Structures are given as C-alpha cells and as structure tokens.
Chains A and B, each alone.
Chain A
Amino acid sequence: MIVLKERFVMYFRCTFPPATPALEFAAVMPVISLTVNGNPVTVDVEARALLSRVLRDQLDLTGTHVGCDTSQCGACVVHVDGKPVKSCTMLAVQADGENITTIEGLAKDGKLHPMQEAFRENHGLQCGFCTPGMIMTAVALADENPELDEMSVRKGLEGNLCRCTGYQNIIHAVLDGAKAMRS
C-alpha cells in the first residue's frame, strides 16, 4: 500500500540536506479535536506537526520530551487510546478524535500515580529527561501484563533509552509500581 517515491537507505545514515528545494504550501491548517488528560481541546495544527510538537508547543504540555529523531529513545511516549505510542512518530492529525494521556495527566486529584511514586521511591531516575516516557511505557506495561517479572520488564522497556541510571532502579520501580497498581 505504501509506494515510497523516495528511497531512503540514507535514512540510516548521517544525512546531507537534500538538494531539492523546500516547497511552499498554501497553509490550510487542519483543525483537530482531542481529549487530552481528560480535557477536550480543539486545536489548529499544521498537517506536518507531530503529536509531540502539538502537545509541547501548542498545549504547553512540556513533560513529553523529544530525545531523538529516529523513534529510538522513547522520551516522547504518551498514551493514545490507552496504548503507549511514540508521539514523535505520529502526526497530530492522525490523533484527531483520540483520547491522549500524557505524563501530566497521570496524577489524579493531586495524588501521584503509583508508578510515579515507585520511580521516586526506587530512585528510578536521575536527570529526569527520559522519565516521562519511561513512566508512560511502564504504566501501560503494568496494565497489560498482570504477571510482570524482571525479564518482561527489561523487554518491555526495549523502546526507552536511559543514559543515567543503568536501568536497574527503573526495573525495580516498574515492578514495585505494577504491584501497587494492582493493590
């Protein structure tokens, strides 16, 4: 179904700026409606705007971070319709009509989500930059797997990079958080 006009072996490589000139487009801004952290919002977006950008720049939800351009680091993970998704790899227009939860929407009524508590309690973060995506991934992982163990947590975090912690405390946090979510 996808017929790619441009071949992109170069995608894997350090890229030169393409020789082709940038096009100018008549800006017809699509309007999208989202439910973000329980609140309905309607927002004008560029078709090319990534979900991560709209969340951060237009809705001021800067807890969702962007740490790479190749969908590897996972700092941008949010829930779309309850499922973890890399918001830097989804167009905002693709999320039209969806229910989005970001890190800012996890705590309810001033009370931290058990997974947030567990990350703090287990020192599952250092610089904190990967943390929002890590926690969002962890919450979904715990939701989907009632019987998490160390191995399944390690695999479940395969799409989230952390450069500070060496992951061990993150794994403890996810296991503890999952336990707390069940009780």
Chain B
Amino acid sequence: MEKYGIGQPVRRKEDARFITGAGTYIDDVAAENMAHAFVLRSPFAHAKILNIDTSEAENMPGVLGIITGQDWAAEGFATMPTKAAISKKIDGSPLNQPPRHCFAIDRARYIGEPVAVVIAETREQAQDAAELVEVDYEDLPAVIDARKALAEDTPRIWDNIEGNVCLDFELGDKDATEKAFANADHVVSLELVNNRVTAAPIEPRGAVAEYDATTDSYKLQNATQNVHANRTTFADVLKIDAESLHHLAPDVGGGFGAKNSSYPEPPILLYAAKKFGRPMKWVNDRNEGFQSDTHGRAQFSKVELALDKDGKFLGLRTRTVGDLGAYCWTNGPFTPTGGSARTQGGPYNIPAMYYSAVAAFTNTMPTDPYRGAGRPEASYQIERIVQHAADTLGFDPVELRRKNLMPTASLPRKTPMGLDVDSGDFPEVFDRTMKMTDREGYAERVANSKKNGMRRGFSIAPYLECSGGMPKEFAGISFTKDGTVTLRVGSHSTGMGHETSKPQILAHTLGVDFDRIDFIQADTKATPIGGGHGGSRSLEVGGAAVLKAANEMLDKAKVLAAHLLNSNADDMDFADGVFTDIKTEQTIAIDDVIAASFEQGRLPEGMEPGCLDTESIFEREIISCPNGAHAAEVEVDPETGAVRVEHYWVIDDFGPIVNPMLADGQVMGGVAQGLGQALMEEIVYDDDGQLVTGSFMDYALPRADSIPKMELGYYEDAPTAKNPLGVKGAGEAGCCASPPAIVNAVLDALKEDGVAHIDMPLTPEKVWRAISEAKK
C-alpha cells in the first residue's frame, strides 16, 4: 500500500491514454448524424449591427440554418449574469452590470463577439457559408485603455453606464494607512502595469450538444473546467430545468481559469441541437481562441510603501484600475477587487494597509480569473515596491525583505486585509531558498557575464497567496462485488492528475488496491454538486472531500467488521487496510469486509448489501495560505535587450505533499506561465481595437529553450488546520512568485545602467530602450 500512499510520487493513471493518443478531448467526440456550427464573430471592437442578410449563405451547400442575434432575442432567452464574488460597490449598491446575451444583438462590443452562427453538415461548409453572411456594421469609436475609459469625455460602451465603471472597491483601514504614511521616514511609490495575457491552453475550446426530444433533455460535452456551475448558468439562459441538462467534460487539454468561464457558444449549441434535431459540434480554432477566450490580469496600479528610517515597513497603499473588457464576465469583477486585495502585502509584517480599485469597461475581450486571479498581481505589486524601496533608499534588497517578514511566532494572525494566516515559517522558507542560490559563486558569475559584455542580476521573491476556490465539494465512493471501487468527485482535473492523486488518498486511507479504483469526474449525473477547478482548490477541498468520504465509509465498515468478528465496534482498530479487535487480536482485511457487505446473510441488522457506499460533502471554512520564496538569476544582453533566466530556485510551503511529482509539475508549470507574463506575453489591441496578437505568430508563449532549469524544494512542517489533509493549494503559487522574481532580477542587473523600472513584459526592445533612455 505504501507505494501508493500519501507522499509517494505515484505515476499517473491517466497517462496510459495520453501517451498513446487514446485520450478523448472535445474534438475527438463525435455523435451520430452530428452537424457542425461555425461562429461568425464581430471583426469590430465597437459597432452597431444595422442588418444581417443571411439569404445567400443559407443557400450554400450543406447549410442547415443560420442563427443571428435577432433570432436569439426573439426566443426570449435570458442573459448570462456575472457570478462575481464581489458584487457590490463601496456604497453598497449593486455593481453596474450590462446585459450579456449569447450574441451581440444590435451592437458588437468586442472583437470576437458572436454575431451569427452557421449550422452545416461540415465545419468547412459552415465556414464557407459564414463568409457570405452579410453584416451591415456601423463602426463606433472603441475604448481600449481602461484608464482612459474612466475619463469624462470618453464615449460610453453601455449607454446607461456612466463613466464606463462597473464598480469601485476598497479594503483595509484607510485612516490608519494615511497615518502610517504621514509618520513615515520614507515613502516610495511606483506605477505598475500588469499586462493583459491569455491562458492559451493548447486545446482550444469546443463542445458537442445533443437533444433528446422524447425526454426533452440535453447532453452537453464541453471542454470546461466546471460542469456544475456552468450547467446552472446555461440552463438559466435557456430557461430550462438544470436537471434536464447532463453536462460533462471529456479529457480537457488545460484550462488555467479560462475554461471556468461561462461562454456563449455552449448554450447556442444546445439551442441549435434542439432546433435542428441534430447533435451539434463546435470547436474553436486558435485564432478564435485569442479573440474569444477570456483574458487575464490587465490591471494598472499605483503602489506606495511607507517605511521608517531603518527600513521597517509601516504602511502599504494600492490603487488599481482593472480592465474588465466589454462585460462583467463570470467572475471578472472579482479579480481587480477582492481577488487582488486579500493578499496585499504578501508575507510581510505591514501594520496598515489600504487597497482601493475601480473596474472599468473597455471594447476588448472580457477578463476573468486566470491562474492566480489577483494574487499574482498583489505579489507583483508588493515585490516591485519593496525592490524599488531598496534600490532608491539604499537598503540591501535581500536584507530588507528578510527583516520585514512576518515573524513565525506572530502566527496565527490576521493581516490588515483580513487574511487568516494560520501556518508557515516565512523566515525559514526564505533562508532555505537563499541557501540554494549559491551566493558564494555569484560574484564570479557576475564577472563572467561582464567579461562577455552582459549584465547579471538576482532577486528573491517571497510570496504569500491564498487558495481554496469554491468552498464545497463532493466525493462518492461505491463498491462492487468484484472488488472494483469507484470514486466520483465534483472537482475537476484539466491536467493536474486527479485521476491519480484522489485515488491515492483513497488507497492510503482505506488500504484498498490503488489499481482497482475507477475515477469519475466532471459529470453532473455522477455527482450531485461540484466546484470544478479553480483557486487551487482541488486537493485542499476536493481531496478533503475524498478523505471525509473515506473516513465515513470506514466508520460503517468498522461496524460491519466488528459484526463479522463477533466483536464490538468500539474495540476495532484500523490500520493498513486491516481491522483488528484490540482485545482479541482477531483481524479482518478491508477487502473481506467489502466482500461481506454484498452478502445479506453476513450483515448485521440495519445494514443492506451495498451499505458501504458513501457520499460525502466537505466544506472548508477558511481559505488556506500557500507561501514560499522563489529566486531568479538572469543575464541581460544590453546591446539587444535580450533576457535569459539562467537559474530558478524554489521553496514552497503547501503543507504536507501528497504526490511530490505532481506538486513539482504544478510549480514548474506556474513558474513558466509567470515567466511568460514577465518576459514575453501580452495581448495587444491597437487604438482601433483590432487584436494585434491574434495568433501564436504574435503572442509569444515560452518554449522549451525559454525556461531555465528549476530547482524545487518543499517546506512541509507547517500544515494548515483549515482542512484535514493540512494542505495548501499548489496550482497558482508559481505564477505568483515568478514574475516579480524575474523582473526584479532584471532590474537588479540594470541597476548600474540607472534603469529603475520597466513594465511587463520585459521584451528585448523595452529593455534596450530603458537602457538607452537611462543613458541620456
């Protein structure tokens, strides 16, 4: 059993299909007599739709029909409201929410917004016909920059929303913070752009919808990371009973938050499946993905830090303008407000903090939580301002950080932002990371770089984030006579390996054979509720649900075991899959207890065959606080501005590690995405609202040769009490820590050139230009 126990690097079950090409992703799903949908999207950022003429397109070969915004409106379907966790303005009134229909009906407000959907026998035929749909647009001025959106003379994106404002927000103690600033010896401030990026999972979005007229029910297979929440949303839009919609996800090729969002295409597809009486398939191509997958980050902040003369932090004040795009998407308004506010100040002991934000509409693809959803922004803000304080005030940046960390003895504590920090040892984690970084050899490496005309820089970035996502999760365990165990969960793996880690918890707890555990996820019929994936929740909430179900099952099994051994349930001990009567030392293996549970004659009164099947719901109360310290060493070519990350070091505190192999994977993937944001990724719209980065030819993703060797380690001595596994989410830590670690290392390298700040992404030209301008 120990081979598959908690803490073991168990190899993944799901890999058996992925490495042989036997996975089933959405584009691999087919249904009999399936028709294909192609979405005609707005080529304008902002335009009135005066008329749509579909007559020529309808006569094209293979075309079954065309659905336009007007058709959709005529059906009276509901809008798709935001489910944002922050829904009120500072004055308590609800946020300004524009109506989000599945189509642009009389006005298109971002490039990529669905204008019409063509249904045909093949995708090619649907696309051929879509080119003949004549849409009469009247171009309107587009608002692209969120900061400008708020200006008085800027045109309104929504006629009834003044100033293009969705909501304002504040958290923390404003007065105390102002006082701290007034009494400070030093105040430093910095304006930061957190660049708009896209998740770009390598699998594009898509779905297959079916309608059964005999039962008036629907089946939707969808490349989503959240079947339950989206089922409710889609059913509400279509005004159907959610129970009549069976929503499930096949293998999903990455999500990173963007597949959590509720998109317009699946409800359109469900509608089309019923209207045309055929299963319907739609799969985006990458070009469409850039336009129509939700984007992330897109924040503009002013950060101020108050210090005393010794460098002790006294106060932190942050003011952010968040870019929501054209609508309040699923949880979009949360990111620049609550999402970014909670972890302000990171792991530092800052007595007074105040965060305020305003979220603005622009004529761009809406933003929604992307890996980290506000915490990477907060982490970037605090680490940049701390580095800036060190550089401008003459403190050693490592020492300044070290001495301001929350002392271990001060935990548990609540930060001024209300974050409940119950566990951790920030100074210890910080020191362990520093130890990995080979400080002794650094001077020589700097000298070698210099000899080659290069610059070298280093920075450490301690971080504190919070994880948990949706608080409630389901786990169900069922047994069959032949010994198969089936585990059903409401959490959802889109690559994280739950098919392995969840059975690992079950095998470890019950002592049943890991290989005999079947795993079902992302299926609304198999699970009554589910939170899908988001907020690094799947282990701390989903794993805890599995543990809870397993323990509840054990309670029942104990009664049965006692009955089978003619002993008392209170005398039963359980370890390594074996029940032992502590008085008689008689034993019975769990497999035998499970087998007996199917034989009526062997059951005590009140127990029925199948009685060990257990369904359980775990609900966590408080989010947990993953933390750690990452460090980066970079080399910069001052002549070209090219940056190479040479080394990357990590110590993370995620509590006890269930599967170190999977944890490593989460960290490295997160670091790589953060590196992408720091150095190369940016969604760019031009002033007319054209999407300039519409393909991988212009939007740079990190490749194998962009990433340094990463050295990882874990601090496991501070489990959290917030969940029974003691774990803290691992999925988003990497991209919280790596942007500031890398950016600060680059700026450290350019200190001698007099470069104080460069906004992400630190592209070669920006670095080169900063050096050139500093020379002037």
A132–B21 touching, CB < 8 Å: yes
- Residues 321-337 of chain B, each 1 if its beta carbon lies under 8 Å from chain A, else 0: 00000000000000000
| Interface stretch of the complex, out of A28-36, A90-98, A100-108 | A100-108
Q: What residues on A are CB-neighbors of B673 within 8 Å?
A: 163
> Taking the nearest CB of chain A, how far is it from the CB of B47, in angstroms?
12
Q: What residues on A are CB-neighbors of B661 within 8 Å?
A: 123
> Taking the nearest CB of chain A, how far is it from the CB of B531, in angstroms?
19
A121 and B496 CA atoms in complex are apart in Å by 16
A68–B704 touching, CB < 8 Å: no
A141 and B311 CA atoms in complex are apart in Å by 53
B19–A125 touching, CB < 8 Å: yes
Chain B residue, CB-CB nearest to A170: B704
Quick check: is B634 within 8 A (CB to CB) of the other chain? no
Q: What residues on B are CB-neighbors of A62 within 8 Å?
A: 21, 24-25, 27-28
Quick check: is A5 within 8 A (CB to CB) of the other chain? no
Set B19, B128, B671: member contacting A22, Cβ < 8 A: B128
> Taking the nearest CB of chain A, how far is it from the CB of B539, in angstroms?
15
A130–B694 touching, CB < 8 Å: no
Set A131, A160, A161, A164: member contacting B669, Cβ < 8 A: A164
Quick check: is B218 within 8 A (CB to CB) of the other chain? no
Given A17-B131, A123-B12, A158-B704, does the pair A164, B694 have CB atoms closer than 8 Å? Answer: no
> Taking the nearest CB of chain A, how far is it from the CB of B370, in angstroms?
12
Quick check: is A168 within 8 A (CB to CB) of the other chain? yes
Q: What residues on A are CB-neighbors of B696 within 8 Å?
A: 68, 70, 72-73, 161
Quick check: is A140 within 8 A (CB to CB) of the other chain? no
Set A56, A66, A131, A162: member contacting B19, Cβ < 8 A: A131
A24 and B203 CA atoms in complex are apart in Å by 31
- Which residues of A from 136 to 183 have beta carbons under 8 Å from B? 150, 153-155, 157-158, 160-171
- Which residues of B from 55 to 75 have beta carbons under 8 Å from A? 56, 60-61
Quick check: is B475 within 8 A (CB to CB) of the other chain? no
A65 and B252 CA atoms in complex are apart in Å by 12
B14–A128 touching, CB < 8 Å: yes
> Taking the nearest CB of chain B, how far is it from the CB of A20, in angstroms?
8
> Taking the nearest CB of chain B, how far is it from the CB of A85, in angstroms?
16
> Taking the nearest CB of chain A, how far is it from the CB of B314, in angstroms?
37
Given A126-B665, A160-B704, does the pair A17, B21 have CB atoms closer than 8 Å? Answer: no
A171 and B706 CA atoms in complex are apart in Å by 13
- Which residues of A from 7 to 64 have beta carbons under 8 Å from B? 11-18, 21-22, 24, 46, 48, 56, 61-64
A12–B695 touching, CB < 8 Å: yes
A16–B43 touching, CB < 8 Å: yes
A128 and B499 CA atoms in complex are apart in Å by 13
Quick check: is B690 within 8 A (CB to CB) of the other chain? yes
B701–A22 touching, CB < 8 Å: no
Quick check: is B705 within 8 A (CB to CB) of the other chain? yes
Quick check: is B256 within 8 A (CB to CB) of the other chain? yes
- Residues 98-121 of chain A, each 1 if its beta carbon lies under 8 Å from chain B, else 0: 000011101100001000100111
Set B14, B111, B252, B254: member contacting A14, Cβ < 8 A: B111
B253–A127 touching, CB < 8 Å: yes
Set A13, A56, A102: member contacting B692, Cβ < 8 A: A13
Chain B residue, CB-CB nearest to A102: B21
A171 and B25 CA atoms in complex are apart in Å by 25
Q: What residues on A are CB-neighbors of B17 within 8 Å?
A: 128
A154–B60 touching, CB < 8 Å: no
- Which residues of B from 28 to 74 have beta carbons under 8 Å from A? 28, 40, 43, 56, 60-61
> Taking the nearest CB of chain A, how far is it from the CB of B677, in angstroms?
13
- Which residues of B from 1 to 20 have beta carbons under 8 Å from A? 9, 11-12, 14-20
Q: What residues on B are CB-neighbors of A171 within 8 Å?
A: 704
Chain A residue, CB-CB nearest to B707: A167
Q: What residues on B are CB-neighbors of A22 within 8 Å?
A: 60, 128-129, 131-132
A119–B19 touching, CB < 8 Å: yes
Q: What residues on B are CB-neighbors of A68 within 8 Å?
A: 285-286, 695-696
A75 and B43 CA atoms in complex are apart in Å by 28
A155–B705 touching, CB < 8 Å: yes
Q: What residues on B are CB-neighbors of A106 within 8 Å?
A: 20
Q: What residues on A are CB-neighbors of B697 within 8 Å?
A: 11-12, 70, 72
Quick check: is B643 within 8 A (CB to CB) of the other chain? no
A119 and B696 CA atoms in complex are apart in Å by 25
> Taking the nearest CB of chain B, how far is it from the CB of A1, in angstroms?
24
Set A61, A70, A155: member contacting B21, Cβ < 8 A: A61
A168 and B693 CA atoms in complex are apart in Å by 27
Set B21, B27, B129, B497: member contacting A103, Cβ < 8 A: B21
Given A12-B698, A24-B61, A163-B200, does the pair A168, B710 have CB atoms closer than 8 Å? Answer: yes
A116–B202 touching, CB < 8 Å: no
B704–A14 touching, CB < 8 Å: no
Set A63, A73, A165: member contacting B20, Cβ < 8 A: A63
Given A14-B695, A125-B18, does the pair A168, B709 have CB atoms closer than 8 Å? Answer: yes
Q: What residues on B are CB-neighbors of A104 within 8 Å?
A: 20-22
> Taking the nearest CB of chain B, how far is it from the CB of A102, in angstroms?
7
> Taking the nearest CB of chain A, how far is it from the CB of B680, in angstroms?
12
Given A22-B60, A127-B494, A129-B202, does the pair A14, B287 have CB atoms closer than 8 Å? Answer: yes
B252–A127 touching, CB < 8 Å: yes
Taking A62-B28, A161-B701, A163-B201 as known contacts, 13 extra A-B pairs with beta carbons closer than 8 A to each other, sorted by chain A number, are A24-B60, A56-B28, A67-B204, A73-B286, A121-B11, A123-B11, A123-B661, A131-B18, A150-B709, A157-B704, A158-B705, A170-B704, A171-B704
A sample of 26 inter-chain contacts (CB < 8 A) reads A12-B695, A14-B111, A14-B694, A15-B694, A22-B129, A22-B132, A56-B27, A62-B27, A63-B22, A66-B27, A68-B696, A120-B15, A125-B15, A126-B496, A126-B497, A127-B203, A127-B252, A128-B15, A128-B23, A155-B704, A160-B704, A161-B696, A163-B199, A166-B670, A167-B703, A169-B664
Q: Which 8 A-B pairs have the closest CB atoms?
A: A63-B21, A14-B694, A129-B253, A128-B18, A127-B495, A166-B668, A166-B672, A103-B21
Interface residues of B (CB under 8 A from A): 9, 11-12, 14-25, 27-28, 40, 43, 56, 60-61, 111, 124, 128-132, 199-204, 251-254, 256, 285-287, 290-291, 494-497, 661-662, 664-665, 668-673, 690-698, 701-705, 707, 709-710, 734
Interface residues of A (CB under 8 A from B): 11-18, 21-22, 24, 46, 48, 56, 61-70, 72-73, 75, 102-104, 106-107, 112, 116, 119-121, 123, 125-132, 135, 150, 153-155, 157-158, 160-171
